[in-house]
Structure 1
């Protein structure tokens, strides 16, 4: 009996410690999600004086509409531009910085510095670089911000630059956790540098790479600041990602549509993340 009371007291004490976290989640996560669902099921009436319940039909209309499809396609292209490039370049820099070379610490600090740079500062810097009037890369048509077929690539440079720093820091930490004995054993077995990379190093840091793929994909789905600062969604809406479209749907007359788009984005992010963890996790090697 005493043991039960003691266990109950310990459980109550443990839950009481979690109450502040639950309260914060409720205020800043679950309640906004509830409001989002409610806004999605109602539309303002013609006079803007009240709400009319329209049910799930509002959700299907918005998610099947052209605006949502356009925003989704632009977001997908943005992910294609930013995630693989940032991941590969960050991985290559981490492999270089992991070598025992003289003065490599300085290069590690330089490579990692992009993580500490805010999106706004990075966007302003790249705006100067790709500006046709003052930037050295302003005449490069491939990243021209004034053309609808290239503006998204120009905007993507900001995220790629920051993704490189994030990938570099996390991959370098993963590389430093790889036991030297394994690399020495592989070298004694006749493995060259390339074979060691693909047969030993990459499998051992595959959990780190999986984490980065998931995180970079989520960051890509949430992209907003570079578009707002560099192009404001122009030219001709070619850089209007889903988050940008949601941001522009404010006010009583548009909040219902924006809420549905936000729910759609949440669902897409959740599904894509789940698929990544399910499929890619099979190829991940977890060392004991």
Structure 2
């Protein structure tokens, strides 16, 4: 039997160790590149999430520190509260008002802007202009538009004999007024994304269908909408999540009123946490809101994504 030392090769005791690190080298490189993002997510997402879940089981002092463990009492009290149930109802109504309207109007504007007409670039800029407007600036602008005495909107409807409406102070109209502001704010982003999706559709599909005698609306139903469905699904998902998290325009336009009709869940969380300093209750509301968004998003992926054509 040949002696390993006679060949001049001495077996290394670290061979399995080196082999392991060589095999896992791609994973090490991936972790190294992901490390900055993981640190940021840990500090600004994961830690606040687990801290919020932890605080939802406690009563807290004004500094937000847990004092008394109460278990699920915060959640039980919330679901027994008429104000909280009303905020859930107002939130879902707000989502129902804003998301479908925003997607449909953005689709209509994108279809117009996708036509090859003279001066269409000017209209594309106008349609996308709301993307560069902050929530604060837009809310102040619409505050003047909704003014019951000097507002442009009441002056316009007065031409049709409709009496003046106190848009932001009337419980029947306040949520609709805030929804109109939100729809306008979302148009720029949704319009640009849908327009990009339209311009990525293969034009040969339209040329072939035109040769076969297909009209515009047939092409819209059979080619444009199916090919645009991934983009529309993305816009619907993002708009849905953003609608549940609406805060700025509520704070500036109505402050949750009148009569709690615009007291959406995020604004209710803000008031409980930073006005009433009830951080335990606010944390429980955050957990409920997170679960609602998660459930609605999962339902959307389960039922709506089936109608999406990725090819």
Same fold (TM over 0.5): yes
One of 19, 23, 27 as aligned partner of 2:39: 23
Q: Check whether the contact 1:144–1:150 (CA below 8 A) recurs between aligned residues.
A: yes
Match of 1:248 in 2: 271
Q: Deviations over 1:217-276 (max 9, x none)?
A: 111100111110011112111111000100001268511111111110011001101110
Aligned to 2:183: 160
Among residues 29, 32, 39, which one is paired with 2:48 in the alignment?
A: 32
Residue 272 of structure 2 contacts residue 278 of structure 2 at CA under 8 Å; is this kept in 1?
Answer: yes
Determine the C-alpha separation between the residues in 2 that align with 1:142 and 1:35.
45
- Tell me the secondary structure at the aligned position of residue 128 of structure 2: helix
Report the equivalent of 1:263.
287
The alpha carbon displacement at 1:116 in A equals 1.2
Kindly report which structure 2 residues correspond to 1:15-94, keeping only aligned pairs within 5 A, or say none. Answer: 15-44=31-60, 51-94=67-110
Q: Which deviates the most, 258-267 or 5-14?
A: 5-14
* SS of corresponding position for 1:272: helix
Higher Cα Rg, which structure: 2
2:153 alignment partner, SS class: coil
State the TM-score, normalized to the length of structure 2: 0.86
- Secondary structure at the aligned position of 2:152 is classed as coil
Distance 1:143 1:205, change over 3 A: farther
Kindly indicate whether the alpha-carbon contact (under 8 Å) linking 2:99 and 2:243 is maintained by their aligned counterparts in 1.
yes
Distance in 1 of aligned mates of 2:100 and 2:284:
29
Preserved contact between residue 53 and residue 287 of structure 2 (Cα < 8 Å) = yes
Q: Which residue of 1 aligns with 2:121?
A: 105
User: Contact between 1:247 and 1:258, CA under 8 Å: does it hold in 2?
Assistant: yes
The structure-2 alpha-carbon separation of the partners of 1:90 and 1:145, relative to structure 1 and needing over 3 Å to count, comes to same
Q: Classify the secondary structure of the residue corresponding to 2:154.
A: coil
Take 2:87 and 2:209, find their aligned partners in 1: how far apart are those partners? 48
Q: For 2:65 and 2:305, how far apart are their aligned partners in 1?
A: 51
Superposed CA RMSD in Å reads: 2.0
How many pairs align? 285
- CA distance in 2 between counterparts of 1:143 and 1:263 reads 35
Corresponding residue to 1:13 among 25, 29, 50 = 29
* 1:185 maps to which of 208, 226, 241: 208
Specify every segment of 5 or more residues in structure 1 that has no aligned partner in the other structure, as ranges: none
Is the alpha carbon distance of 1:49 and 1:5 closer, same or farther for their aligned partners in structure 2, counting shifts above 3 Å?
closer
Distance, in Å, in 2 between the alignment partners of 1:85 and 1:51 is: 45
Match in the other structure for 2:229? 206
Moved runs in structure 1, 4+ residues, more than 4 A?
1-4, 139-143
Q: What residue is the counterpart of 1:129 in the other structure?
A: 145
